[in-house]
Structure 1
């Protein structure tokens, strides 16, 4: 079928007659077509690279269209001999030439007799022949053999020259550009791609192009070049062939094969591994599609066999990024989580003052000796921002945070000798001591503020979790404890204060939910503590499973960077009717089970341990052994055998703690 529709030709002819440029309105009036039809035809010509819109001056004149360089080059051929049109001003109709399918109405010239065969009569040619013979005469007989040999050689030379010429006439070279043979191409990579065949020594007008065995449209010819803007193609293998008649006889063929691939590569590798030991190597092994390059973390992995294996000397300190790229450039990216197998933990909270108190310390030792607990949570920095042990952290000394109630290294050694693990609790961002020091020193951006710039009064002072000095201060306390031999760091007040965000200002934060800032701190801490082979977890509000945005605690995101989550599900802290429990404080089993089930739902598939804080203190309802045991049983019925008991007075109900949990 012809490349150009009749309307397209009329518009192209009009542009040629106007010197190559005109407005849509001018063209419409001249060719008697409505503006929309003209616009559509100009779009078709634009897709073929024949015309282009040259812009307009808003409010003064309409859009202006001009012939491109290619349009000037091929326009007259596209219009052909019908520039004058038919009697009615339209193109002349009639049979179309097969060459019109290329947009060029080319017709081969009629063969003419050679000049040497015309202009002489038969008698004149005979006379000329006799004259030649007469001039030549008859050679002497002794020369006939030599002349015969010469004649034979001349004939052989002529045949040889003719044979060489015949071969030369048959040589046709076709070079292809635009897509490399055997290439893998993404669908997006085809946009704007032009496949070009340059022909040397063949009949360009005879060229036929096929895509996967079928003729294609939109092909254009420029001198000895065949050009095809590649359209959107389906995914899979494709072949484009071009056949061209040789000058003498036969056909030359060129082909380019390529594969369209827009599907990201598949990587068989668990996104979340089973928990591993803290001090053992980790093997990341799986498989990929052929020809896929793979990067795990900062290492390139060999995938030549289709399978791969990478051994890490120790568990990674956070999610491990995986990037797979196939030959077409498609990528698959995800993080691999390698959780730590958190050890079985049954423990109690102990303040620095309690450990310094002989009677309270002995009551904790009694729990250990009775086999009721296997861990002690010892305060490192408490809710007032006070550090109970002697510390070398410079900012703690400057701010007056150090109380020096006990020697941390000695306390850890004593507890280890009793056969229990030591969990160091750090109250991170609720820190009245540091807040007062920062305000007095003029470092007001260390603390959270009211909208008018005053220090936020919540909890006596809440420090800015977005400030690098505040963050480093807490990390330094943890690092010092790790060097002293602590087994575990448990972060508390890893959140923002309750209340409307509009009522507080976080210096350096541009607004919105600051949960990502909290998560980034845990990621930084995880990297440091993993290197020191220290476990770490985070205490969170009991409501954070489904209302974490109230205090910037994104449980799912936090779980990627901690070994365990410690939800504070104290029955006394729930409102009546929560999770369908009529009186939570009086129904410790029901509310504990219901709230922990929410955390299991949120953490499903993360393999992150849940170590709940349980209540061993009394508020509106008196708590004794039955209430404590009810909470432990509720957790156990969900498959949670780990817990920590909280009593701010450090006076625990021994009878409520089963011995079997040691």
Structure 2
């Protein structure tokens, strides 16, 4: 008696109840087993001669399996030993086999000799055979019958050989889907991928799948389909092969090769260039893996050789975006910063009223003549929102902002004639004049407000840096100055009002830190001023190096769009103990050096110039030549030779300013 596993008995029982024949799908549903388990059981029963596979129509129906003659004979007894088994509708009873599930030690019995031949001698069998032959009739008829039988046998053999030959020559086709041969895939694309082999003309039950030469797990079999959910694979080239036995002899093989690549391409190009000269061409040169698609700015670059070079007609107005994409779709994205080599600058702040005052203007011109300064910072729009020079900007005329204290082009020409540069200061968003006009005209969304919708009183009115009209107004003032020949535009009050953001409302802004809005304005201004070949800087709080969120001044982000940062590190503005300095106002060297070192740390690697604002006025401590010179020396000891002096009264301490230029 054979020892059948439970699953095999269930399949045999289902075949018996169905009259001896069924499809795999029918057996799977009836026995509550998956197709792969049913296929395995049928294979076991086939090895014992109990079942055989019938023909099938590829693509239309699954293969049918039938009990053999031997299966019909022994099947009921094999199922009958299975408690709960049912054959022909009758519940079977019998002892449980103690070796159930261990395999098949049983083999089909050898055919026994017919009973009539048992015990006869060889001579007696020959006599009996002749007697049987004699019963067939005359000799001639026996010969003709023998010849006919031989002929029939020859024809049958010929047909059989032909049938075998045709089947042997039949092509086994294996179709692969799910992953294209030669494809490049990122790990994210591979996740959830299913590789499927469809077999036509071969023995699907014999299929063996290998990954890079090793057997794989998780293969699912559905009649003539072999399905493999692809697991996570290492990066590199992989090959999946499927070997299938042909119907009679030989093996058919299909393979798919693909590459898993999740590594972004490397681009050898400096992220920050060395400072370049304003107005001169700029070359961006580097290398990348051959064949990688490379876009620099708005230009597609040829990378067939692996190296590339792109010449820009002049320094760009901001970061240059670079995008590299390999064959698998991996991206490398970054910005290239092209800093401007900012010229050596030592200058003083001059208001519009001071330039209009003969005595104050003369004192500034005297500093130039003595070789102490090489730049003059001249106010274009001040903290009251007043424009000191005659302007054609329409909104400035409507608001009454223009005071016409001087002619801008004449002032620039005069200072250029003395060999110095002119820096135009624009107080951007602290603008009481524009605020009053906005309130009067019903344009409250032009101003920063209190939570209940009233204009914020701080500074007399702070305009909305998120409003297009306010932004364009300031850009128009800068563009007019650039056309007049200004060398620099230096933005001031490029920030929000200090204080808790919950106590203010910024129309059009959805909340959070508005630093990106401030930076976006500098980006817009930088593009315009670069085209006009005008230098571009921003004044920032002394604390902004490490506490910029207090006023929405992100120094690192700002530096991407300006040529220099001008931190206001006035000693009188620091609290005691800042950076370990006990009395900052009385220790100008110590606090200046400590605070500027913080800006150098934040700006390290950007190649953005630092041009600090230094103090030349007195508050609680009297400032004279020694205090002014101490700040200049502190900056110099950090390698910072540029500076601007601030005195709201425009009365500078001449003896504190070193002579640096020959006249």
Residues 1:453 and 1:309: Cα distance change in structure 2 (over 3 Å): same
Distance between the aligned counterparts of 2:350 and 2:442, measured in 1?
Answer: 35
Deviations 1:221-255 (A, max 9, x none): 33322221112222222111111112332111111
Segment drifting more, 136-145 vs 462-471: 136-145
Segment drifting more, 645-654 vs 10-19: 10-19
Deviations 1:115-134 (A, max 9, x none): 99999999999999999999
8 Å CA contact 2:22, 2:65 repeated in 1: yes
Residues 1:23 and 1:571: Cα distance change in structure 2 (over 3 Å): farther
Residues 1:167 and 1:393: Cα distance change in structure 2 (over 3 Å): same
8 Å CA contact 1:2, 1:102 repeated in 2: no
8 Å CA contact 2:83, 2:93 repeated in 1: no
Distance between the aligned counterparts of 2:76 and 2:632, measured in 1?
Answer: 92
Secondary structure, in 3 states, of the residue corresponding to 1:102?
coil
State how 1:153-302 maps to structure 2 within 5 Å.
165-166=165-166, 169-302=169-302
Segment drifting more, 77-86 vs 477-486: 77-86
Deviations 1:519-541 (A, max 9, x none): 11111111111111111110011
Deviations 1:335-360 (A, max 9, x none): 11111111111111111111111111
Shift of 1:259: 1.5
Distance between the aligned counterparts of 1:346 and 1:583, measured in 2?
Answer: 27
Distance between the aligned counterparts of 1:635 and 1:3, measured in 2?
Answer: 95
Residues 1:602 and 1:58: Cα distance change in structure 2 (over 3 Å): farther
Residues 1:422 and 1:24: Cα distance change in structure 2 (over 3 Å): farther
Segment drifting more, 382-391 vs 23-32: 23-32
Shift of 1:217: 1.9
Residues 1:25 and 1:301: Cα distance change in structure 2 (over 3 Å): closer
Secondary structure, in 3 states, of the residue corresponding to 2:548?
helix
Shift of 1:628: 1.0
Shift of 1:218: 2.0
Deviations 1:630-655 (A, max 9, x none): 11110000000000011111111121
Distance between the aligned counterparts of 1:19 and 1:26, measured in 2?
Answer: 13
Distance between the aligned counterparts of 1:69 and 1:644, measured in 2?
Answer: 108
Other-structure match for 1:338: 338
Shift of 1:200: 2.4
Any gaps of 5 or more consecutive residues in structure 2?
none
Secondary structure, in 3 states, of the residue corresponding to 2:100?
helix
8 Å CA contact 1:102, 1:220 repeated in 2: no
Distance between the aligned counterparts of 2:542 and 2:49, measured in 1?
Answer: 66
Shift of 1:271: 1.3
Shift of 1:174: 1.8
Deviations 1:439-480 (A, max 9, x none): 000101111111111111111111111111001100000011
Deviations 1:459-512 (A, max 9, x none): 111111111100110000001111111110000011111212121111111222
Deviations 1:585-625 (A, max 9, x none): 11111111111011111111111110000111111211111
Shift of 1:287: 1.7
Secondary structure, in 3 states, of the residue corresponding to 2:256?
strand
Residues 1:119 and 1:336: Cα distance change in structure 2 (over 3 Å): farther
Any gaps of 5 or more consecutive residues in structure 1?
none
Residues 1:75 and 1:386: Cα distance change in structure 2 (over 3 Å): farther
8 Å CA contact 1:538, 1:562 repeated in 2: yes
8 Å CA contact 2:4, 2:100 repeated in 1: no
RMSD: 10.4
Residues 1:619 and 1:229: Cα distance change in structure 2 (over 3 Å): same
Shift of 1:570: 0.8
Displaced runs of 4+ in structure 1, greater than 3 A? 1-168
Segment drifting more, 434-443 vs 244-253: 244-253
2:411 equivalent to 1:411: yes
Segment drifting more, 347-356 vs 258-267: 258-267
State how 1:406-485 maps to structure 2 within 5 Å.
406-485=406-485
Residues 1:344 and 1:87: Cα distance change in structure 2 (over 3 Å): farther
Shift of 1:58: 44
Residues 1:155 and 1:64: Cα distance change in structure 2 (over 3 Å): closer
Deviations 1:158-205 (A, max 9, x none): 899959955862522222111111211111112221111122222222
8 Å CA contact 2:266, 2:288 repeated in 1: yes
Secondary structure, in 3 states, of the residue corresponding to 2:87?
coil
8 Å CA contact 1:438, 1:446 repeated in 2: yes
Shift of 1:429: 0.5
Secondary structure, in 3 states, of the residue corresponding to 1:181?
coil
Segment drifting more, 7-16 vs 242-251: 7-16
Residues 1:122 and 1:301: Cα distance change in structure 2 (over 3 Å): farther
Secondary structure, in 3 states, of the residue corresponding to 1:567?
strand
8 Å CA contact 2:265, 2:330 repeated in 1: yes
Secondary structure, in 3 states, of the residue corresponding to 2:91?
coil
Deviations 1:73-128 (A, max 9, x none): 99999999999779999999999999999999999999999999999999999999
Secondary structure, in 3 states, of the residue corresponding to 1:290?
coil
Residues 1:370 and 1:158: Cα distance change in structure 2 (over 3 Å): farther
Other-structure match for 1:565: 565
8 Å CA contact 1:3, 1:218 repeated in 2: no
Between structure 1 and structure 2, the one with the greater Rg is 2
- Corresponding residue pairs, total: 662
Segment drifting more, 473-482 vs 102-111: 102-111
Segment drifting more, 494-503 vs 40-49: 40-49
Secondary structure, in 3 states, of the residue corresponding to 2:90?
coil
Residues 1:438 and 1:178: Cα distance change in structure 2 (over 3 Å): same
8 Å CA contact 1:78, 1:103 repeated in 2: no
TM-score, normalised to structure 2's length? 0.78
Shift of 1:46: 29
2:322 equivalent to 1:306: no
Distance between the aligned counterparts of 2:77 and 2:531, measured in 1?
Answer: 75
8 Å CA contact 2:84, 2:92 repeated in 1: no
Distance between the aligned counterparts of 1:424 and 1:368, measured in 2?
Answer: 17
Segment drifting more, 127-136 vs 303-312: 127-136
Secondary structure, in 3 states, of the residue corresponding to 1:659?
coil
8 Å CA contact 1:170, 1:249 repeated in 2: no
Residues 1:119 and 1:55: Cα distance change in structure 2 (over 3 Å): closer
Shift of 1:292: 2.0
8 Å CA contact 1:292, 1:325 repeated in 2: yes
Segment drifting more, 99-108 vs 547-556: 99-108
Distance between the aligned counterparts of 1:152 and 1:468, measured in 2?
Answer: 102
Deviations 1:358-404 (A, max 9, x none): 11111111111111111110000001000011100000000000011
Distance between the aligned counterparts of 2:532 and 2:74, measured in 1?
Answer: 74
Secondary structure, in 3 states, of the residue corresponding to 2:448?
coil
8 Å CA contact 2:81, 2:97 repeated in 1: no
8 Å CA contact 1:185, 1:260 repeated in 2: yes
Shift of 1:406: 0.9
Residues 1:642 and 1:80: Cα distance change in structure 2 (over 3 Å): farther
State how 1:79-98 maps to structure 2 within 5 Å.
none
Residues 1:46 and 1:243: Cα distance change in structure 2 (over 3 Å): closer
